Amino acid sequence: MTKLANSFDTALRERASRVVPGGMWGHQHAAKLPEGYPQFFSRADGCRVWDVDGRPYLDFMCSWGPNMLGHHHPEVEEAAQRQARLGDCMNGPAEAMVELAELLVDTVAHADWAQFQKNGSDATTTCVTIARAATGRRKLLAARGAYHGAVPWCSPSLIGVTAEDRAHILLYDYNDPESLRAAAEEAGDDLAGVIVSAFRHDLGRDQELPTAAFAQAAREICDAKGAALIMDEVRAGFRLNLAGSWEHLGIRPDLAAWSKAIANGYPLAAVTGREWLRKAASQIFVTGSFWCGAVPMAAGVATLTVLRRDGVVEHLAAMGQSLRDGLAELARRHGLGLRQTGPAQMPMILFEDDADFRKGELFCRTALAEGVYFHPRHNMFLCAAHGEAEIAEALAAADIGLAAVAEHSRVAA
Amino acid sequence: MTKLANSFDTALRERASRVVPGGMWGHQHAAKLPEGYPQFFSRADGCRVWDVDGRPYLDFMCSWGPNMLGHHHPEVEEAAQRQARLGDCMNGPAEAMVELAELLVDTVAHADWAQFQKNGSDATTTCVTIARAATGRRKLLAARGAYHGAVPWCSPSLIGVTAEDRAHILLYDYNDPESLRAAAEEAGDDLAGVIVSAFRHDLGRDQELPTAAFAQAAREICDAKGAALIMDEVRAGFRLNLAGSWEHLGIRPDLAAWSKAIANGYPLAAVTGREWLRKAASQIFVTGSFWCGAVPMAAGVATLTVLRRDGVVEHLAAMGQSLRDGLAELARRHGLGLRQTGPAQMPMILFEDDADFRKGELFCRTALAEGVYFHPRHNMFLCAAHGEAEIAEALAAADIGLAAVAEHSRVAA
C-alpha cells in the first residue's frame, strides 16, 4: 500500500508541520512507524479505529494501552456522561473519587490507600517522591532501558536533561538479582526505593516476564533496607492481574503507579500504597489542575467494576493466546522464525534475523493494507472487544503479511 | 454556619480518610480553607457549584482557573460531545489537534508553533527542557516564591525533593530588575532560560502586575545571552489578553506554558514557542498516554473560538472591576481596610492588619453561609457566566461578611 498523495492524512500532516514542531511528537509520532501508517484518526469503536481517510483498522495498539474494554463501552460511557451532566472539573472532587479509591483499595492486594493524577509519569514521579519523603533517603534503583515516563528523571532521551536530574538513579538489569544487589550495595544507607516494571517491556526487544528469583530479591532488598518497592503498573496494570502484576509470584510492592487502562481511555493515573507510606503521601505536595476531574473518576469506577465482574483479564489472555498460537502456526507454515514474548494479552512480535526490523515492518505494512493495525517494535495490547472472530480476521491478515515476508526473504536469498 | 455532623460531606470525608492519605491532597484540600467549606461537590453549572449536601454557591474560584466560559457552556459541550461520539484517546491525534495548534498560532502573538500536554506542570517542564535543548545550557532563573507546578524542580514543598532537583535553579525577586540581572550574572554562560509568571500571584500576599522595567530587563537579558524567556501563563492565560499577558508591555516571550482555562475544564495544557525553538521542541522526548486525546482538543478549539469572538476578556475585566469597586465601597462603609491587587478579573482580597488571615477567613466563612464561594488567601477567578446580577449577589453577601469582620474587630478592640 502506498500513501495517497492527496489523502486527508497527508494534508493534515502538511498543516501540522507548520504549527507543530516536527509535525508531531512523542510515542504517537507516525514517523516511527512503517510507511502507510496514518498519523491522524477520525473515529474509534470497540477494537476498531478509522483513519481520517475513512479506512478502518482492526486495532492491536488499543491507544497504546488505554483502550481496555473497547472504545465506547456502554457502561463506561453512561457513567462518564451521567457525571458530565452534573459536573467535571469543580472546586474539589466528587463522590466518584472516594468510590474509585475504595474500589482500588478493595481490588489491589497491596493497596491501603490511593491518590490520583493525570499521566503515568505523574504517578511514577509521585511514587518516587513518597519513597524519598518516607525514608529521608535519595537513591532509586531503576532497570537499564526500562520506560517509567517522559520527564527528566526517567525520559528515554537525554536531550534537554541535566546530569543532576538523574543524580540519584542507580541502574540494574531486569531479572538479574545480582545486578540489583550490587546497585543496592552502591546505594548504601541512602536507598529510598527500587522501581520495577510489572514485566520487562523495553522497546524493540523480546519481552521478559519477571523471574521469581528477581522478584524475591527486589522484595528482600527493600525489606532489609527499609526502602520502598515501587511497581510501575502504568503499561501492564489491569491486563495481567487486577490485584497486582506480581501476585502470581507472591510478591507485593509498597507503592504502585497506575494509568493507561484505569478509566478505559479517560485521562487518569493513580498511586496505590501500603500503610507505612500513608503519612508521607499526605505530606508531599503534588497536584494538578485537572487531577480531581470527576468524569475520568466516574469512568474509572465503571471500568474497574466491569473488569472485576466480567473476567476481562482471562478473556484477554485467552484471545492473546489464540492470536499467538495462530501466528506461531502461520510462521511455521511460511518457514519464518517468530519470537512472541511476554504475556499473551500484551503481544510482542519480533522476527528472527531482523536486527533492522525490516521483516517486522514489511509484515506490519502488509497487514495494515489488509486492515489490521500491528506495531513492529513495541508491545501491543488486547482489549475486551477482541473476540474469536477478530482474532481470525487478524490471522487472515497476518497470513498475507507473513507470506510477503517469506517472499521477500526468498527474493533476497 | 457550622458544619452539620451528619452531612454527606462529613460522611464522604470519613470514607476518604480511610482510603486517601490525609483524606485529600493538593490545592483542593479543604483543610486549607475556613471551617464550613465543603470538600466534595456534586454538580456545577455556569458560575455556580453545588456541594454534596445540595447547597449552591455563587463561585469565584472557577475550579481554580479552568472554568472560563461557565460550566456546561453549550458550544464547548457540543464540540466535546461531537468528538466523543467519534473518538477520544486513539492511536494518534484527530484533526482537532491541528485545528487547535493553528488557532493558538493565530491567537498568541509570539507563537510560531504549539505542542500539547495534560498538566500545567507538564507545560512548564517542557518549556525548560526545550530551553535547555536549544541552548545546550542548564541554568534557569525563577522568581522566589512563584508557583510553576508541583513537580520536584518547582514544587512549593521540599518534602521528598532532593537538592539536585533544583541544582540549576537560580532565584530572583519578581519585579526587581537588579535581582534578575544579578541572577543572570551568576548563571554566566550557562543560562538556558528565565521563567516569569504573567504577574505575581504568590499565595497569601498582594498580587503585583509586572513593571515595564522588569519585563524589559527579562527580555534584554534573554536577548543578550541567547536564552529563552519562558512565560508561565498557566494561571493567567486567556484571562488578561488572548495574545499574551505581556502584550500591553510590548514584551513577548520565546516560550509560554498554558493550561487551566484553555479548554474550559477539559484536561489540557500547551506550550507555544518561537521559530528558533522549533527544532529543539521536535528533538526532546516528552509525551503522555492521554496527551493527544481528541475531546479536550475539540473543547479547546471551541473555547478559543468563543474567547476570540465574544470579547470575554473585556467582560471579565469589567465584571471584576464592578466587584472590586463594590467591595472597596462596602469596606469604606464598614471602616475596614481592604487590599485588592492584581488584575480585576483575577481578584485577590486581603485585609489590612490580618497577618494570620483571621479577618479574611471570617469574611469568607460568612459569605459562604450566604452562598458565595470566595478564597481568603489565594487569587480568585471570574468566568464569562459572571454578570451584573451575579456581582450584585456577591456584593450583598460580601456586605454581610464585612459586617461580621467589622463587628468582630469592634468586640476585639
Determine the Cα angle at B396 with ends B393 and B399, to 5°: 150
Residue type, B387: G
**Does the distance separating the beta carbons of B162 and A167 come in below 8 Å?**
yes
Q: Please give the average per-residue pLDDT across B171-197, as a whole number.
A: 98
Q: Is A265–B293 a contact, with Cβ atoms under 8 angstroms apart? A: yes
Q: Say how many residues make up chain B.
A: 413
Helix (H, G, I), strand (E, B) or coil at A75: helix
**DSSP-derived pairing of the beta strands B41-45 and B48-51:** antiparallel
- What pLDDT does residue B93 have? 98
Distance between CA A168 and CA A138 in Å, rounded?
6
Q: What angle do CA B129, B134, B139 make, to 5 degrees?
A: 60
Residue A58 DSSP symbol: E
Exposure letters B333-359 (e unless 16+ CB within 10 A, then b)? ebebebebbbbbbbbbbbbeebeebeb
Between residues 40 and 69 of chain A, which touch chain B (CB distance below 8 Å)? Answer: 40-45, 49-50, 52, 59, 61, 63-67
Mutation to test the B interface, candidates A14, A62, A82, A89, most B Cβ within 10 Å? A89
- Interchain CB distance below 8 Å, A26 and B288: yes
Region B228-243 average pLDDT: 98
Give the mean pLDDT of chain A.
97
Max Cα–Cα distance, chain B, nearest Å: 66
Give yes or no for B283 touching A (CB within 8 A).
yes
Amino acid, single-letter form, for residue A344: A
Instruction: Judge whether B114 is closer than 8 Å to chain A, CB to CB.
Output: yes
Residue A413's pLDDT is 77
Confidence category of residue B124, pLDDT binned at 50, 70, 90: very high
Helix A312-334 to helix A388-412 angle (10° resolution) is 30
Backbone phi, psi, residue B141, to 5°: -95, 130
What phi and psi, each to the nearest 5 degrees, are found at residue B20?
-130, 125
Instruction: Provide the chain A residues 220-279 that lie in CB contact (below 8 A) with chain B.
Output: 234, 259-260, 265-267, 273, 278-279
User: Left, alpha or beta for B142 (phi > 0: left; psi -120 to 50: alpha)?
Assistant: beta
Report CB contact under 8 Å: B90, A121: no
- Please name the member of B98, B156, B157 whose beta carbon is closest to the beta carbon of A15: B98
Cell digits for B340? 485588592
Contact A210, A232 (CB under 8 A): no
Q: Identify whether the C-beta of residue A244 lies closer than 8 Å to the C-beta of residue A255.
A: no
Cell of A107: 481490588
Whether the pLDDT of residue B203 is over 90: the answer is yes
What pLDDT is recorded for position A6? 75
Average pLDDT of span B326-330: 98
> How many inter-chain contacts (A to B, CB under 8 Å) are there?
339
Nearest to A10 by CA among B380, B217, B95: B95
Three-state SS sequence of B65-96: CCCCCCECCHHHHHHHHHHHHHCCCCCCCCHH
User: B72: Cβ–Cβ under 8 A, 6 or more apart, which residues?
Assistant: B44, B45, B46
Distance from CA of B250 to the nearest CA of A (A): 23
In chain A, residues with a C-beta closer than 8 Å to the C-beta of B102 are: 15, 19
Per the DSSP assignment, residues forming a β-bridge with B196 are B231
Q: Which residue has the cell 525548560?
A: B128
Q: Which residues of A250-269 are buried (b: 16+ CB within 10 A; e: fewer)?
A: ebbbbbbbbbbbbbbbbbbb
Nearest to A390 by CA among A404, A373, A376: A373
C-alpha cell at position B336: 475596614
Give the three cell numbers for residue A152: 527528566
Cβ contact, residue pair A25, B288, below 8 Å: no
Q: pLDDT at residue B240 above 80?
A: yes
B26 contacts in A (CB within 8 Å)?
285-288, 291-292
Tell me, yes or no, if B136 comes closer than 8 A to chain A by beta carbon: no
Q: What residues in A contact B18, CB-CB < 8 Å?
A: 105, 113
Those of residues 3-32 in B touching chain A at CB distance below 8 A are 12, 15-16, 18-22, 24-28, 30
Angle at A213 between CA A210 and CA A216, to 5 degrees: 90
Q: Is A164 at the interface with chain B, CB within 8 A?
A: yes
**B122 at interface of A, judged by CB pairs closer than 8 A:** yes
Query: Residue B87: which of A43, A61, A153 has the nearest Cβ?
Result: A43
Question: B400 falls in which pLDDT band (50, 70, 90)?
Answer: very high
Contact present, A87 and B71 (Cβ < 8 Å): yes
DSSP class of residue A63? G
Question: ipTM surpassing 0.85, yes or no?
Answer: yes
- Check if A82 contacts B (Cβ < 8 Å): no
Within a 10 A sphere around the Cβ of A381, how many other Cβ atoms?
28
Which residues partner with B269 through β-bridges?
B117
> Under 8 Å CB-to-CB from A178, ≥6 apart: which residues?
none
- Taking the C-alpha atoms of residue A161 and residue A164, their distance in angstroms, rounded to an integer, is 8
**CA-based torsion, A32, A36, A37, A38: positive or negative:** positive
* pLDDT confidence of residue B81: 98
Distance from CA of A188 to the nearest CA of B (A): 17
Residues of chain A neighbouring B288 (CB-CB closer than 8 A): 26, 118-121, 150
Distance separating alpha carbons of residues A141 and A187, to the nearest angstrom = 8
- Superfamily holding A8-64+312-412: Aspartate Aminotransferase, domain 1 (3.90.1150.10)
8 Å CB contact of A265 and B98 = no
pLDDT at B177 over 50: yes
Confidence of residue B1 (pLDDT cuts 50, 70, 90): very low
Q: Does residue B116 sit in helix, strand or coil?
A: strand
**Which letter, b or e, does each residue of B173-199 get, where b requires 16 or more Cβ atoms within 10 Å of its Cβ?**
bbbbbebbbebbeebeeebbbbbbbbb
The CA-atom distances, in angstroms, between A307 and each of A61, A150, A238, A239, B202 are: 19, 28, 8, 9, 44
Of A122, A157, A287, the CB nearest to B25: A287
Q: Look at residues B352, B357, B367 and name the one whose alpha carbon lies nearest to residue B400.
A: B367
> Distance between CA B103 and CA A100 in Å, rounded?
36
Compare CB distances from A41 to B87, B120, B159 and report the shortest one's residue.
Answer: B87
CB contact B79 to A (< 8 Å)? no
Considering only CB atoms, A162 lies closest to which of B39, B168, B283, namely B168
Cβ of residue B90 closer than 8 Å to a chain A Cβ? yes
Is the pLDDT score of B2 beyond 60?
A: no
pLDDT class of B5 with cuts at 50, 70, 90: low
Are A95 and B52 within 8 A, CB to CB?
yes
Domain boundaries, chain A: 8-64+312-412, 74-310
Q: Which stretches of chain A score pLDDT less than 50? A: 1-2
Cell 518547582 appears where?
A: B154
**Which CATH architecture describes the domain B74-310?**
3-Layer(aba) Sandwich (3.40)
Q: What is the pTM of this model?
A: 0.98
Is the Cβ pair B21, A278 closer than 8 Å?
Answer: yes
DSSP B406: H
d(CA A44, CA A41): 8
Residue B133 contacts A where some CB pair is shorter than 8 Å: yes
**Domain B18-71+312-412, CATH number (from 3.60.15.10, 3.90.1150.10, 3.40.50.300, 3.30.70.270):** 3.90.1150.10
Most A CBs within 10 A among B10, B77, B89, B116, hence the mutation to make, goes to: B89
pLDDT given for residue B402 in this prediction: 98
pLDDT band at B291 (very low <50, low <70, confident <90, very high): very high
Question: Is B49 in Cβ contact with A66 (below 8 Å)?
Answer: no
Considering only CA atoms, which of A259, A262, A267, A69 is closest in space to residue B297?
Answer: A267
Nearest CA to CA, how far is A28 from chain B (Å)? Answer: 5
